[in-house]
Amino acid sequence: MTKSNKSATLTIDGKSHELPVFSPTAGPDVVDIRKLYAQAHVFTYDPGFTSTASCDSTITFIDGDKGELLHRGYPIDQLAGKSHYLEVCYLLLYGDLPSASQLEDFEARVTNHTMLHEQMHFLFRGFRRDAPPMAIMVGVVGALSAFYHDSTDISDPWQREVASIRMVAKMPTIAAMAFKYTIGQPFEYPRNDLSYAANFLRMCFAVPAENYEVNPILERAMDRIFTLHADHEQNASTSTVRLASSSGANPFACIAAGIACLWGPAHGGANQACLEMLREIGTVDRIPEYIRRAKDKDDDFRLMGFGHRVYKNFDPRATVLKQSADEVLELLGVEDNPVLQVAKALEKAALADDYFAEKKLFPNVDFYSGIILEAMGFPTSMFTPIFAVSRTVGWISQWKEMIADPQLKIGRPRQLYHGATLRDYVDIEKR
């Protein structure tokens, strides 16, 4: 943490308390309240963490007003246009863009860890065939610590490195196996001669009965979706991974916790919820009804794929994905797909509506990723698993940063208590 050259004064009950203020390399200053309770015997209150910095990080920076997203300083639109997912993984994990030989070595290490322990295939068979792939992923990823316990000692930097590579490498295989299992098709093994994105598409869509060639446009779109979802500062699932890791739990269990949090429709589950909403709307003429509902305070309906806690401008990832969506839809010749027609008309109607403009509710990454994944032939149940595949490198990068922090403490928030005060037990005869 940089030294503080400013301070803030908090006056409570006539007593003043000086609090150090730290200035970051980008973003707002932070008031250091670590000693507040000891000094003033008060807590701060911020249940949604809307004004709370939970850690000191160097990985990803978001400027919600400008609609800017930087990974180690590089803007997401440049990375999406000029880089590719595994290079962005290297950048997130190790702090800078790799040289050609570093990238070659990293890609080889990931490629050679994509297979899953054969014994783990039996784990999948324990699930019902109609299990949601996200339920399978939470279970199987948590179970990795039962198969790869030679990389669970977080005090050993080498084991941390091995666990990191294993997680990035095996997530596509696990997600594809979860998909295959739920559709009753045999598992496809990863292939070392394919790119990360092509491997995932082949493991999902190839069948033993015929040859499968990956379409390079879909491979590029898949890689771009992976790149755009890789990391996003201290979002809910990343904060979950950090909190779980702060107790010293093994990385596989912590990533499983992150997957569980991502599943929610307010977070990574929004891409699936968005497509289900578009299907429910059904036709363009029903859009006004849903716009009205989204604005109605007495209706808890929200437009899935719209709004963001941080972005009060266009989500820069959505801008890139919107362009990808047009490319994929044109290539696949599905521009007239009714669900996708509704999506385009809904986007237009919401962007033209004062309510969404005033509340700065723009389409977010989940609005367009759902449209592309739908067009690529994925069922909605695979949308959030794909988000989890991509975000694993972000969770792991943030986990590595936190574990290496000499000031690491277990995360243990306090509360604003409004429950019963001290009272004596009453025997049942007297109640």
Tell me how far the alpha carbon of residue 334 is from its chain's centroid: 28
For residue 10, give the 3-state DSSP assignment. strand
**Residue 359 touching ligand SDX (CB under 6 A):** yes
Q: How far is the CB of 199 from ligand SDX (least distance, A)?
A: 23
**Residue 240 touching ligand SDX (CB under 6 A):** no
Q: How far is the CB of 371 from ligand SDX (least distance, A)?
A: 13
220/295 with CB nearer ligand SDX: 295
Catalytic one among 223, 231, 315, 366?
366
User: For residues 110-138, b (16+ Cβ closer than 10 Å) or e, as one string?
Assistant: bbebbebeeebeebbeebeeebbbbbbbb
Closest CA to 261 of 235, 279, 287: 235
8/55 with CB nearer ligand SDX: 55
Taking every pair of C-alpha atoms in the chain, what is the biggest distance, in angstroms? Answer: 79
Q: How far is the CB of 310 from ligand SDX (least distance, A)?
A: 6
Near ligand SDX by CB under 6 A, which window of 147-155, 160-168, 364-372, 375-383?
364-372
205/290 with CB nearer ligand SDX: 290
Phi, psi of 121, rounded to the nearest 5 degrees:
-60, -30
Chain position whose Cβ is nearest to ligand SDX: 307
Contacts to ligand SDX from residues 33-72, by CB under 6 A: 48
107/233 with CB nearer ligand SDX: 233
C-alpha span between 375 and 409 (Å, rounded): 45
**Which are the contacts of 359, defined by CB distance < 8 A and separation ≥ 6?**
307
The residue within the footprint of ligand SDX, chosen from 226, 306, 378, 383 (CB under 6 A), is 306
CA 254 to each of CA 95, 145, 246, 399, 407: distance values in angstroms, whole numbers, following the listed order: 22, 10, 10, 9, 20
Catalytic one among 71, 84, 113, 308?
308
**Residue 266 touching ligand SDX (CB under 6 A):** yes
**Residue 146 touching ligand SDX (CB under 6 A):** no
User: For residues 85-107, b (16+ Cβ closer than 10 Å) or e, as one string?
Assistant: bbbbbbbbbeeeebeeeeeeebb
The residue within the footprint of ligand SDX, chosen from 87, 107, 347, 366 (CB under 6 A), is 366
Q: How far is the CB of 198 from ligand SDX (least distance, A)?
A: 24
| Residues contacting ligand SDX: total by CB under 6 A | 22
Contacts to ligand SDX from residues 374-393, by CB under 6 A: none
The residue within the footprint of ligand SDX, chosen from 222, 270, 328, 329 (CB under 6 A), is 270
Q: What track of x and - describes contact with ligand SDX for positions 91 through 110 (by CB under 6 A)? A: --------------------
144/350 with CB nearer ligand SDX: 350
32/276 with CB nearer ligand SDX: 276
C-alpha span between 196 and 212 (Å, rounded): 16
Contacts to ligand SDX from residues 310-349, by CB under 6 A: 310
91/123 with CB nearer ligand SDX: 91
Whether 84 is a known active-site residue: answer no
The residue type at 335: E
Q: How far is the CB of 176 from ligand SDX (least distance, A)?
A: 22
C-alpha span between 246 and 235 (Å, rounded): 16
CB 315 within 8 A of CB 365: yes
Whether 149 is a known active-site residue: answer no
* CB-neighbour burial class of residue 285 (10 A; exposed 0-12, middle 13-18, buried 19+): exposed
C-alpha span between 281 and 350 (Å, rounded): 14
CB 375 within 8 A of CB 325: yes
The residue within the footprint of ligand SDX, chosen from 139, 172, 307, 316 (CB under 6 A), is 307
**Residue 304 touching ligand SDX (CB under 6 A):** yes
CB 32 within 8 A of CB 19: yes
Closest CA to 135 of 369, 381, 393, 304: 381
Q: Give the residue numbers annotated as catalytic, written as ranges.
A: 308, 366
Contact positions toward ligand SDX, by CB under 6 A? 48, 232, 235, 266-268, 270, 294, 302-310, 359, 361, 364-366
